[in-house]
Amino acid sequence: MKICNIHAVYFSPTGKTKEVVKTIAREIARVSDIQYYEYDFTLPDNRDKPVSFSEDDLVIFGTPVYAGRVPNKILPEIQRLFTGNNALAVPIVTFGNRSYDNALIELRNVLETNGFHTIAGGAFVAEHSFTDKLAKGRPRDGDLSTIRCFASAVSRKIEKMKTIPGPIAVRGTEPIPTYYQPLGRDGKPAVFLKAKPKVHDTCTLCGTCARVCPVGSIRLPDQETDHWRVEGICIKCQACIKQCPAHAIYFDDPAFLSHIAMLEENYSRPAENEVFL
């Protein structure tokens, strides 16, 4: 089967999903000698217009895993924005060393419903956004080698394809269960949906946090009597914390911190990448 274009498409607040998806897409573009394109829908301004593909396209489509599934505030955007028109697709999820649960099968299903034909899939370990004590520095060289080997295998599969296969079989449960329930150190449910970041007085009001927030919720002071604040939802993506040049942003919600401590105590073992072809 002949593919003319490859598209790296991703939601990636902390950059790890972006790294994985781009590595796969660029490797396929290299070995198959096809045109490479990129679409980052992390920020609100990049989610204002629908995006359509065609049967000549291969789309490497990635999101991080939030509570064992596709991020719930982004899932409707994926359903609304992207139309496959019989394009081939490879769903990709990244997870922070605990588990990807049902995120990959959920993303596969959404892409299939939107007119894509999923031919492969992968779940790759990336440093946890909450703490660098889980999967620190991943994807590392060994992970990237696995990712490139996967990309080459996808390219070979496409070359050998004579007809469009059924949806790629991936690990997960159907119908899709509810989101993973975060636990605290005591093993009880940790409820921190309303937790929001706060700011130290070391903040320089540079505006980086507001620019990188994927839901556009951070507001900077617009007058002397105003103050830094988070309006609306916070999806706990940690983009503001990771990218603040003054390291001035933090969470102090007890339930949220207890959940992080639980993860650090119970999921320090190196998780494995999984691919499906």
Q: In angstroms, how far is CA 248 from the centroid of its own chain?
A: 24
Segment 219-249, tens digit of pLDDT = 998 876 678 999 989 999 999 999 999 999 9
pLDDT for res 227: 83
Taking the C-alpha atoms of residue 41 and residue 158, their distance in angstroms, rounded to an integer, is: 26
Segment 251-269, tens digit of pLDDT = 999 999 999 999 999 999 9
pLDDT for res 211: 97
Extents of the domains making up the chain? 5-178+269-276, 198-252
pLDDT for res 101: 98
pLDDT for res 224: 66
Indicate if the pLDDT at residue 33 is higher than 70.
yes
pLDDT for res 222: 81
* pLDDT band at 181; cut points 50, 70, 90: very high
Tokens 């301004």 found at: 45
Taking the C-alpha atoms of residue 250 and residue 88, their distance in angstroms, rounded to an integer, is: 41
Segment 152-164 mean pLDDT: 96
Q: What global pTM score does this model have?
A: 0.96
CATH classification code of 198-252 = 3.30.70.20
CB 129 within 8 A of CB 67: no
Which of 31-35, 73-77, 225-229 has the lowest average pLDDT?
Answer: 225-229
Segment 15-26, tens digit of pLDDT = 999 999 999 999
Domain 5-178+269-276 CATH assignment equals 3.40.50.360:
yes
